[in-house]
Amino acid sequence: MKAGDTQGLNGFAARANVDLTIVGPEGPLEAGIVDLFRENGRKIFGPTAGAARIESSKAFAKKIMSDAGVATATATLHSNIDSAKHAARAMGAPLVIKASGLAAGKGVVVAQSIEEADRAVEMILGDRVFGDAGAQLLVEEFMEGEELSLFAITDGTNVIPLLAAQDHKRLLDGDLGPNTGGMGAYAPVSAARTELIDEITDRILLPTLVALKNAGHPFTGLLYAGLMLTDHGPKVVEFNCRFGDPETQTILPLMKSSLLELATLVAAGESIEKSKTLEWSAECSVTTVLAARGYPDSPHLGDSIRLPAPPRGIHVFHAGTGRSASGEIVTAGGRVLGVTGVAATMEEAAARSRAYAERVTFDGKQMRRDIAYRELERHARAS
C-alpha cells in the first residue's frame, strides 16, 4: 500500500485496530490523511491538510509569517516567466528561486548569478520539472548565516522544542553542488544555546501557531522550522509540517524521554502544557547520507548494496532501498541510507559515521565526508 493511498490506509487502520498513527511523509498530510482519520475517530499525529500548507505552499507560508510578524527572507510570488526574471534582476544575485509547492526537497535553487536564476525560472515555470509544484515560484532574498533545524511538538497552542540539529543541504563537501533533501546532519549544535531556542520559540514558533489558528487552520503535530542564524537574529528559511530527515535520524538516538507519550497526547487532542521537560543523552550524533548515482536529478535504481553488519554506536536507517527479485537489497530512491554514529564526542561520532558509510558499497555511491565540519571547526578553535 502506498503512502498516498489515504483511503486504503484508513481501511487498514480500521481492520488492524491501530491505536496511533504517526505520519512521516508530507504527501499524505497534503492529501488530508489527518482529516480523514479524525473524521473516522482515529488517533493520528500530524496537521490537517489546511495546516500542512505551511509546507505544501511556500506562498501560504510567507502569508502566515507576514501575518505573524515572523522574520523571514523578502520574497515575491510569480507564475509568469518574464515577471520572475524581472524580479530576479531587481533582487540581484545571489538570490534563491523556490518552487512554491512540494518538490521532495529539490525545488530550491541558490543562484549565484542572474543567468543561473534565469535557468532556474525556466526550469520550474517553463519546463515544469516539478510538475504542479512549480506552477508558482518565489524569487527570494539570499540570507547569509548558519542554518539550524528545530523540531517542536505542538498541540496547537503549546510547543516543546526538541534538540536542535544542523542539516547539510548541498550534495558535495564544502557546501558545493546542487541542493538536495539533505546529505547529513549532526546534533547537538553548540550555537543553539538555551537563550536562542527560547527566542525562536517566542518570536517564531508561537506566533506562527497563533497565525495558523487565526487563519482557521490550527496546527498540531510536529512543526519543523528551518532557520538561518543571521547577524540580525534567527530568520525562517522554510517550515515543514512533519519529521524531516536526516535530522530525525540524528536527533532521536539521543532522546531519552518518551516521544510516544507526547505524540499520543497530541493525537488525542489533549494539552501538552504540563508535560515534563525532555531529557537528552549527553552524547553526540552524526548522520551521513548515502545517495544513489545520479542524485538529485536522476537517481539510478536497482543497484546492489553491500551492507556490512553495523558495529556498536552505529544506526543504519533505510530510506531509498528495496529488494530485487533474487532478494538482494538494492537502491530504490535518491537518498538510499542514513548512517548515524553516536559517541561521547562530536569528533568520534563523525568518525564512526564516516567509517561505516565508507564500508557500504553500491555503484555510484555518493556521500559527503565533512558532515559536522562547522562544529568540528568550533571545537578546534576552542581547544
What gap in Å lies between CA 164 and CA 63, rounded to an integer? Answer: 25
Question: Quick one: which of 86, 285, 111 has its CA closest to 185?
Answer: 285
Average pLDDT over residues 211-224: 98
pLDDT digits (tens, 9 = 90+) for 294-313: 999 899 999 999 999 999 99
Query: What local confidence, expressed as pLDDT, does residue 3 receive?
Result: 83
pLDDT of 379 over the 90 cut: no
Average pLDDT over residues 363-382: 94
Give percent above pLDDT 90 in the chain.
91
Query: What local confidence, expressed as pLDDT, does residue 276 receive?
Result: 82
What gap in Å lies between CA 155 and CA 267, rounded to an integer? Answer: 8
pLDDT digits (tens, 9 = 90+) for 148-205: 999 999 999 999 999 999 999 999 999 999 889 999 999 999 999 999 999 999 999 9
pLDDT of 8 over the 80 cut: yes
Global pTM value: 0.92
pLDDT of 259 over the 70 cut: yes
What gap in Å lies between CA 279 and CA 213, rounded to an integer? Answer: 29
CB distance 4 to 36 below 8 Å: no
CB distance 214 to 50 below 8 Å: no
pLDDT digits (tens, 9 = 90+) for 16-69: 999 999 999 999 999 999 999 999 999 999 999 999 999 999 999 999 999 999
Q: Whole-number mean pLDDT of the chain?
A: 95
Q: At 310, list the grid cell.
A: 553495523
Query: What local confidence, expressed as pLDDT, does residue 57 receive?
Result: 92
pLDDT digits (tens, 9 = 90+) for 27-39: 999 999 999 999 9
Q: At 177, list the grid cell.
A: 553542488
Average pLDDT over residues 239-246: 94
pLDDT of 329 over the 90 cut: yes
Average pLDDT over residues 317-331: 96
Query: What local confidence, expressed as pLDDT, does residue 268 receive?
Result: 96
Average pLDDT over residues 238-261: 96
Domains of the chain: 6-50 (3.40.50.20), 75-141 (3.30.1490.20), 146-267 (3.30.470.20), 284-382 (3.90.600.10)
pLDDT digits (tens, 9 = 90+) for 129-140: 888 888 999 999
Q: On the CB side of 247, how many CA atoms lie within 13 Å of its CA?
A: 25
pLDDT digits (tens, 9 = 90+) for 276-298: 889 999 999 999 999 999 999 89
pLDDT of 264 over the 80 cut: yes
pLDDT of 105 over the 70 cut: no
Query: What local confidence, expressed as pLDDT, does residue 177 receive?
Result: 92
DSSP string, 194-246: HHHHHHHIIIIIHHHHHHHHHTT----EEEEEEEEEETTEEEEEEEESS--TT
Average pLDDT over residues 78-84: 95
- DSSP 8-state code for residue 88: H
